[in-house]
Amino acid sequence: MTGRALDLTLHLLDRQVLDQDGGMVCNVDDVEFLVPDDGAPPYITTLLTGPAALAPRLGGLLGRWVLSAYQLLGERHDKEPDRIPYELVTDIAASVKVSRTRAEMGVHPGEDRARQYFVDRIPGARHESS
């Protein structure tokens, strides 16, 4: 992909991240740049995800509202987004692919909590529905 050009909001932001098996991991809610001291152009080091990454992009009241809705659901309070190092990205197209499994990514505390306290307690949660 070296040399390829793309526009951040057109081609990367808000896209679905898929793991190596095609499982849905999260959306690209924001990205983090490293700004070199020598004036060289900043580059993307990390994809950010989760309510703490999405809220600033929604801005203002809407952002705060989404954040507090998440906290109501028991999301972490520290307002730090979950992070995916850019090194893991293998493809940027209609979705963004990463070279790990969903379980290894560790970027969805909300999903884990929903599973642990809710879905896993209902009979049949661990079976394919076929």
- Which residues inside 78-107 make contact with other proteins, applying CB under 8 A? 85-88, 93-95, 102
* CA gap 125, 106 in Å, rounded: 20
Residues 31-60 that bind other proteins (CB under 8 A): 31-35, 40-45, 48-49, 53-54, 56-59
In the block, residue with structure tokens 């793991």: 19
3-class DSSP state of 83: strand
Whether the Cβ atoms of residue 75 and residue 110 lie closer than 8 Å to each other: yes
Residues 11-30 that bind other proteins (CB under 8 A): 11-17, 23-30
Whether the Cβ atoms of residue 25 and residue 17 lie closer than 8 Å to each other: yes
The count of chain residues that interact with other proteins, using the rule CB under 8 A, is 71
Query: Which CB, 77 or 116, lies closer to other proteins?
Result: 116
Nearest approach, Cβ of 18 to other proteins (angstroms)?
A: 8
